[in-house]
């Protein structure tokens, strides 16, 4: 059985990428346009009813406690449900949805909570769909060139993998489209390993996408996200569906729509090099809308002060006495999200007087340069990296992988920083308020069974 699984993966990975057909369709609140996007790219050409189908949406996070604007952050329930309907009409009966959210018990962010919040249980009742939490495994070790990763077995066992990413930017990889979405198929330990201190994240992403090679990729661009991948970015109603049997081609087109050059995207450039593919879209056949009419340039990066002492917001507010260097590719998703929370808490704690010579380090490789009274080490990885660092005056460890929100607040207060969680709560409320009373942003797009 295991040999057969990997033979199927090998066949998918060796699919020839000649002139790839990519459909561009406007959604415009008409579910029939999801069908059009699939049909125009011959999305089910290789699908027979007996095949085991697995849908991989992008549900990178969930939150049952704090305000959580989902626009551009996660795949819409509209796209997931319509894909299930199309599969059933095609005669498929063995259909599963698999995802692995970033888990934080303090906000009930587990995958099951996301499924519950989006009404995916209705897909179980209506269509017999299996809901899989890929965080729970089981996993199989897969060898790559020079490293190995643990991939959720249901993904490897699927005969027809459908990739349902979101049209969004990413603060490390610039875009988070088809290739990047597959990182959610890894075990937690392997996800952390991909943020390697010596190897680029894009290399892991490219090799994983090459290995899994989804049979169909449909990029959900009903909403697009500026400065993603999380909700502190800004969402835009884009109404774009991008579908292809060729994930690389879909990502190239999606990157162009986001106003970026595919040659600047590390994992796409690497994939092109390994397979002798062009990065200018010349091997793509566009069906439907004109690509040029859909281009919407979005920002992917967050500004930092020239001396790398903190985000540009620190400069605008006159915040000083703190050194908070910019995150790097080694910071994992869980810590990255909470890193934003620390910055908001520091802004809230600022009284107009300089902080008392403090430093914050994140990720896996940063080393304190010394000269500060206290160095806050955020997360187990950076604690290990600075263990016995003689340059540190007083090390303040915020332990966890990732640390808990309450431990962050408590530690800051214990060391003289008046961090109030209500400041962060108000910030989260302000993020949600961006989209209220704006009819183009529809919460019902994220609930199964709603129009």
State the pLDDT at residue 109: 82
Ramachandran sector of residue 371 (left: φ over 0; alpha: ψ -120 to 50; beta: rest)? left
Q: Which residues in 203-341 belong to E strands, given as ranges?
A: 216-226, 234-244, 284-288, 322-323
Q: Residues 59, 76: contact at Cβ < 8 Å? A: no
SS3 207: helix
Q: Which of 321, 311, 5, 324 is nearest to 138 (CA)?
A: 5
Q: What are phi and psi of 237, to 5 degrees?
A: -75, 120
- What is the per-residue burial (b if ≥16 Cβ within 10 Å, else e) of 278-300? ebebebbebbbeebeebeeebeb
pLDDT of residue 450: 52
The three-class DSSP label of residue 221 is strand
- Residues 195, 196, 200, 201, Cα dihedral to 10°: -20
Answer left, alpha or beta for residue 308, where phi above 0 means left and psi between -120 and 50 means alpha. left
- The pLDDT assigned to 83 comes to 98
Domains of the chain: 2-300 (3.40.50.11440), 312-419 (no CATH)
What distance, in Å, lies between the first and last C-alpha atoms of the chain?
42
Q: What is the pLDDT of residue 14?
A: 41
Q: Residue 18 has what pLDDT?
A: 67
pLDDT by residue, tens only, the chain of 451 residues: 443 443 444 444 444 446 899 999 999 999 999 999 999 999 999 999 999 999 999 999 999 999 999 999 999 999 999 999 999 999 999 999 999 998 887 777 899 999 999 999 999 999 999 999 999 999 999 999 999 999 999 999 999 999 999 999 999 999 999 999 999 999 999 999 999 999 999 999 999 999 999 999 999 999 999 999 999 999 999 999 999 999 999 999 999 999 999 999 999 999 999 999 999 999 999 999 999 999 999 999 999 999 999 999 999 999 999 999 999 999 998 899 999 999 999 999 999 999 999 999 999 999 998 999 999 999 999 999 999 999 999 999 999 999 999 999 999 999 999 999 999 999 999 999 999 999 999 999 999 985 4
Q: Is 53 helix (H, G, I), strand (E, B) or coil?
A: strand
Three-class secondary structure of residue 42 per DSSP: coil
- What does the block give as tokens for 348? 């809230």
Contact criterion met (CB below 8 Å) for 156 and 186: no
173 strand-pairing partners: none
Q: How many helices (H) and strands (E) does the chain have?
A: 16, 16
- Encode burial over 157-175: b for 16+ CB neighbours within 10 A, e otherwise: bbbbbbbbbbbbbbbbbbb
pLDDT value at position 1? 41
**Rounded Cα gap, residues 327 and 364, in angstroms:** 10
Angle formed by the axes of helices 32-40 and 77-89, nearest 10°: 60
Q: What's the 3-state SS for 110-139?
A: CHHHHHHHCCCHHHHHHHCCEEEEHHHCCE
CA–CA dist 163, 220 (Å, integer): 10
Return the structure tokens found at 176. Answer: 């988070």
Integer angstrom CA distances of residue 231 from 32, 45, 60, 170: 28, 36, 11, 11
> Which residue in the block uniquely carries the two structure tokens 């390993």?
193
Give the separation between CA 229 and CA 66, rounded to whole angstroms: 18
Residue 426, H or E segment: helix 421-433
Exposed, middle or buried by CB within 10 Å (0-12, 13-18, 19+), for 140? middle
Q: What is the pTM of this model?
A: 0.93
Closest CA to 97 of 46, 5, 161: 161
């Amino acid at each position: 059985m295991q040999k057969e699984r990997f033979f199927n993966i090998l066949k998918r990975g060796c699919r020839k990428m000649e002139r790839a057909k990519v459909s561009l369709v406007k959604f415009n609140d008409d579910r029939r346009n999801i069908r059009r996007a699939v049909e125009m790219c011959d999305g089910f050409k290789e699908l027979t009813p007996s095949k085991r189908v697995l849908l991989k949406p992008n549900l990178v996070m969930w939150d049952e406690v704090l305000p959580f604007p989902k626009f551009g952050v996660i795949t819409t329930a509209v796209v997931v449900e319509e894909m299930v309907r199309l599969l059933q009409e095609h005669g498929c009966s063995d259909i599963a949805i698999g995802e692995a959210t970033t888990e934080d018990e303090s906000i009930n962010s587990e995958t099951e909570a996301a499924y519950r919040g989006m009404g995916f249980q209705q897909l179980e009742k209506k269509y017999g769909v299996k809901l899989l939490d890929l965080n729970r495994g089981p996993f199989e070790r897969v060898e790559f060139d020079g490293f190995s990763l643990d991939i959720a077995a249901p993904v490897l066992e699927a005969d027809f993998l459908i990739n349902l990413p979101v049209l969004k930017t990413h603060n490390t990889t610039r875009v988070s489209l088809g290739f990047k979405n597959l990182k959610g198929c890894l075990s937690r330990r392997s996800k952390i390993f991909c943020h390697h201190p010596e190897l680029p994240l894009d290399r892991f992403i490219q090799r994983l996408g090459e290995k899994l090679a989804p049979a169909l990729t449909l990029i959900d661009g009903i909403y697009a996200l500026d400065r993603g991948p999380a909700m502190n970015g800004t969402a835009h109603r884009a109404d774009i569906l991008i579908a292809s049997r060729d994930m690389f081609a879909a990502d190239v087109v999606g990157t162009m729509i986001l106003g970026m050059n595919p040659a600047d995207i590390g994992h796409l450039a690497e994939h092109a090099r390994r397979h002798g593919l062009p990065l200018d879209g010349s091997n793509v056949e566009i069906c439907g809308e004109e690509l040029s009419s859909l281009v919407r340039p979005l920002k992917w990066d967050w500004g930092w002060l020239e001396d790398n002492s903190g985000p540009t917001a620190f400069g605008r507010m006159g915040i000083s006495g703190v050194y908070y260097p910019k995150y790097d590719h080694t910071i994992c998703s869980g810590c990255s999200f909470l890193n934003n929370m620390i910055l908001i808490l520091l802004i809230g704690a600022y009284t107009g007087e300089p902080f008392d010579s403090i430093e914050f380090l994140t990720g896996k490789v940063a080393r304190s340069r010394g000269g500060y009274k206290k160095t806050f080490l955020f997360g187990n990885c950076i604690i290990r990296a600075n263990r016995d660092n003689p340059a540190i005056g007083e090390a303040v460890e915020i332990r966890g992988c990732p640390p808990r929100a309450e431990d962050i607040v408590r530690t800051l207060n214990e060391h003289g920083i008046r961090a109030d969680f209500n400041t962060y709560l108000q910030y989260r409320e302000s993020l949600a308020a961006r989209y209220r009373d704006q009819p183009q942003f529809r919460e019902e797009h994220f609930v199964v069974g709603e129009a």
